[in-house]
Amino acid sequence: MQNFLELKDVSLKKYNTLRLEAYAKRLYFPLNQEGLVEVLRFTKGNKRYLLGKGSNVLLTKDVYPEDVVFIVTTHMDDIRIEQEELVLEAGVSLSQLTWFAIEHAIDGYAFAEDIPGTIGGALIMNAGQFEFTIGQYVHWVDVYDDELDEVKRIIPDADFFTYRNSGFKASETILACGLRNVGGDELENIEKVISYKKERYRKQPRNYPNAGSVFKRPQKDGKTLFVWKLFEECGLRGKRIGNAEISFKHPGFIVNLGQATQSDVLALIDLCKQEVKKSFDVDLELEWRVLD
């Protein structure tokens, strides 16, 4: 049985939600957990980037060299109920998780439906919205540890998941996880999905490609600051460099107006950091993963 697919000299444009053009010499699609472990083992020593839905990432090169490997996990999409838990492979989308939960009268996952990513990436960054994060629901996570060359199970403690972060080591790649299974009302959860979706459509740019919120909310003097407010006060709303723009609708997002390049986006990121540092003495930290 074949556990993975391999493509060579592939455009990555459709594999990143910002829709930047870039090319990979090698691209792998694991079909299951065994396939992902196989790919990780024979590509050890190469720089490896895992992509789910391609959100929350910034491609920085036009062409990636031979020793940079991309792995797309979206074929690892098995989800089931097992021993009163939701068990998911790393490539299950958050939308898929939400609707599976609704169909099986499971409560708690309506918040995740409109987050454009997979469970693997969501766990790494503890994705969430409103008052919810995915880390609140995790019982266990199976990972492949590159250093130990073994699959192991992590049982997260109370401090494992923090704001847009987690305790996974760089050597650990997520294979699957077990999530909380609590009974709920199907119609109530559908109504929650619609409500959350309306709120995000009202506030966030949907007419142009983007990769989600660019920066984490910074702290200053014990207070959490909102990035979009900082940008508003700096006059950055609607600022363009090339075909990249700080969204008019929500300045916390950078959008691709059509033909934005890596250099356009990187220059806009640098400008944002400089202006916020100059105006507020605040250092911004990227929420995106930069794939260099």
Residues designated as active site: 164, 213, 287
Q: Which pair of tokens denotes residue 10?
A: 């592939």
Q: Are 186 and 105 in contact (CB under 8 A)?
A: yes
State how far the Cα of 29 lies from the Cα of 36, in Å rounded to an integer.
8
DSSP string, 67-94: TEEEEE-TT---EEEETTEEEEETT-BH
State how far the Cα of 99 lies from the Cα of 97, in Å rounded to an integer.
6
State how far the Cα of 217 lies from the Cα of 204, in Å rounded to an integer.
16
The answer for residues whose C-beta is within 8 angstroms of residue 288's C-beta and 6 or more apart is: 56, 57, 58, 211, 212, 214
